[in-house]
Amino acid sequence: MNENTDGIRRKRASSRALDDMDRKLLGVLAEDATISYADLGERVGLSPPAAHERVKRLRRSGAIRKVAALIDPEASGKPMLAFVHVDTTGWGKTPVLLAIEEHPEVEEIHSVAGDTCMLLKVRTESTHALEGLLARLYDTPGVKATRSYVVLSTYLERPVQPGVTAEWPALVKNAQAGVAAFNNRPG
Amino acid sequence: MNENTDGIRRKRASSRALDDMDRKLLGVLAEDATISYADLGERVGLSPPAAHERVKRLRRSGAIRKVAALIDPEASGKPMLAFVHVDTTGWGKTPVLLAIEEHPEVEEIHSVAGDTCMLLKVRTESTHALEGLLARLYDTPGVKATRSYVVLSTYLERPVQPGVTAEWPALVKNAQAGVAAFNNRPG
DNA sequence: ATGATTGCAGAATGATGTTCGGCATCAAGA
DNA sequence: TCTTGATGCCGAACATCATTCTGCAATCAT
């Protein structure tokens, strides 16, 4: 066997699975990326160069997409948040819908399965601005209807977290099923 | 008048409105916060210390919430994204619902206006993990029903942008409003 | 058993963050 | 109009940190 024993594409050096140390590093950097490598290394139990090496690898591999300043919505003048469900006539309306990403108010555009076609996350200055955005949507050919869910309070909003829940209590019927599911995981 | 003329709480030094330079800085830093102050200053037309001073102010004022490493969802082992609408019996179920934020799969929890009470953004390892999370939700007292919108494709997903749309074409009823909006534009 | 590879620590170096002093600009009040 | 205070910027100095290099230890494969 010219391959490792624990999977098909392990050890390919540029896209390896994250180990515990990587997740610890990501956990710290996801919270504060301005930390020095000395402090970072101390937090995870690594020397500064070792921490730097692993972070560099995480960046190259794409595990760290980018390091960015997260802007306060209210400070940027957009206190209103809403999720907009868009129903279109037929499929393939995505290209024309993507035009609205020109507006900095639009933060997410997803195609979803369910009783709606597209889902938008938008952040606007006011109700008027939301109305303007909806008007812009209805001007788009193929847009049949929209339903807006205006956020009243945000209790949690954070970026992608490095951790995963190891075990979902209600789903583990027996130990064997749990182990089988674990071994079949895609990562 | 011991106050500035252009508003109630201008010039309070710790929470001032963002000017054009601030938005330019935020625009750059929202994309890449690893840039050096020398390059940052060059991008916006400022000396390194001046850029540093303004960025420091933006951090102190809270306009920059934090500088964080943005993690690739697939690299962290959570390729599945879903929005979950939660219907509860009556109000005030938020405190018990907040317990699920323990799971790193849960990225957002909002209370919304519309035909549902709460809205969750969750990112899971698999459909099984999503099922486990839903089971966890149904175990929560007061949860009546959930509707999940599984994301098929994500066309856009970005953090809060510094800019705002100055003018919404469909909303401009007369020239005067348009000119006023134009003059107030940030860019 | 042995050679190759990987990952980490310590030290040196270069780049960068950060602070300081001085100057120009602007607004308010005499 | 002149003065006074505050603000924001620049250039230079200084301190800190990122980054690289070398060597060593552990691991895996032959």
* pLDDT one-digit tens code per residue, A175-186: 555 555 555 555
- Rounded average pLDDT over A62-87: 96
- Which option is the CATH number for A20-61: 1.10.10.10, 3.10.20.30, 2.60.90.10, 1.10.260.40? 1.10.10.10
Say how far apart CA A79 and CA B9 lie, in whole Å. Answer: 18
Chain B residues 129-168 with Cβ under 7 Å of strand C are none
- Sequence-distant (≥ 6) Cβ neighbours of residue A135 within 8 angstroms: B168, B169, B170, B171
- Sequence-distant (≥ 6) Cβ neighbours of residue A105 within 8 angstroms: A78, A122, A123, A124, A125, A129, A133, B161, B164, B165
pLDDT digits (tens, 9 = 90+) for B81-123: 999 999 998 887 778 899 999 999 999 999 999 999 999 999 9
Task: Compute CA A167 distance to the chain's CA centroid, rounded to the nearest angstrom.
Answer: 21
Cβ neighbours around A172 below 10 Å, total? 14
Q: Hey, what are A51's tokens?
A: 């921490």
Mean pLDDT across chain B: 86
Given a contact cutoff of 8 angstroms between Cβ atoms, the answer to whether A128 and B171 are in contact is: yes
| Least confident among B18-22, B64-68, B160-164 | B18-22
Query: Does strand D come within 7 Å of the CB of A53?
Result: yes
pLDDT band (50, 70, 90) for residue B17: confident
Query: Does strand C come within 7 Å of the CB of B57?
Result: no
The pLDDT of residue B93 is 76
Specify the DSSP element, H or E, that contains B71.
strand B64-71
Q: Hey, what are A58's tokens?
A: 């995480």
Q: Does A171 touch chain B (CB under 8 A)?
A: yes
| Least confident among A72-76, A117-121, B12-16 | B12-16
Q: B111 vs A147: CB contact, 8 Å cut-off?
A: no
Q: C-alpha dihedral over A94, A95, A98, A100, to 10 degrees?
A: -100
CA of A111 to C1' of C20 (A): 54
Judged against a pLDDT cut of 60, whether residue A6 lies above it is answered with no
Say how far apart CA B127 and CA A181 lie, in whole Å. Answer: 11
Extents of the domains making up chain A: 20-61, 80-150
Instruction: Name every chain A residue with its beta carbon within 8 A of the beta carbon of B81.
Output: 110
pLDDT band (50, 70, 90) for residue B2: very low
| B31, B79, B104: residue with CB nearest A68 | B31
CA of A1 to C1' of D30 (A): 12
Q: What topology is assigned to B80-150 in CATH?
A: Alpha-Beta Plaits (3.30.70)
Say how far apart CA A54 and CA A56 lie, in whole Å. Answer: 5
Say how far apart CA B160 and CA A74 lie, in whole Å. Answer: 10
Fold match between A20-61 and A80-150?
A: no
Query: Does strand C come within 7 Å of the CB of A25?
Result: no
